[in-house]
Amino acid sequence: MNSASSLMGSQGTSGSCAGAIRALTLELKGLQTSPVEGFTVTANEDNMFVWTVALYGPPGTLYQGGYFKAVLKFPSNYPYAPPSIKFLNKVWHPNVYENGDLCISILHPPVDDPHSGELACERWNPTQNVRTILLSVISLLNEPNTSSPANVDASVMYRKWKESGGKNDEYARLVRKQVEASRLDAEKDGVVVPETLEEYCIKTAPKSNEDCTDGFDLDEDYYDYGDESDDEEEYEENAEDSGQGEN
């Protein structure tokens, strides 16, 4: 690659990175001013591309009272490519790998993978954001996808629990044990975990039109993501070269 091409490539990457930072800054502000029940987010002071997430187990589920911390990492060309989520504490779940990595359709690249069993509309697209991602994760906690599990043993155990109507409670006992362990983490962090539905649901005042800056509803020129076509072409080429597919 000649020097001119190198310069153009670096400028494109820089523009994409700056656009991602602006988008993430807006999303973070929106989540802090208008929080959503079930989770809190904090951006790394030194790196906007790394966020710490605290997920609270939904009331009325096995995960009720749980406090699950995770790291959300964003690529430099976000939102054209999906972030990744890794749990920091133990989570026994069909869609969580033993190392904590989460496997969920919404975070899978939009490449053509007929063997995955996923529809293209179920995979990542640039209209998604942190809010929709984390709400999907909270839903997944209680309703796992057992058709393509990341943890086969947890998937088998979950199906036995469901099919037995709760009589085979090995899965439930393991989850509750981890929920209890997570409470210790909450105490260390000085966090009061919501237990009841009333505590879990956050009541916020309706946003005015001037406040509606969360997500991607603003004029595209405001975000200035850089050259969108270059980002998408580069992403597609990388996906083809690496054979990206399901986690």
232: closest CA among 74, 130, 81?
81
How far apart are alpha carbons 101 and 104 in whole angstroms?
10
Strand order in the sheet with 67-73: 39-44, 47-56, 67-73, 84-87
Catalytic residue among 103, 121, 201, 212: 103
23: closest CA among 211, 217, 215?
215
- List helix spans (H) across the chain: 3-33, 130-142, 152-163, 170-189, 197-200, 220-223, 228-242
Q: Enter the tokens of residue 199.
A: 């505590």
Asked whether the beta carbons of 110 and 127 are under 8 A apart, the reply is: no
Residue at token pair 């809190």: 40
> Catalytic residue at 201?
no
Give the angle 84-88-94 at the CA atoms, nearest 5°: 70
DSSP letter for 123, please: S
What are the catalytic residues? 103
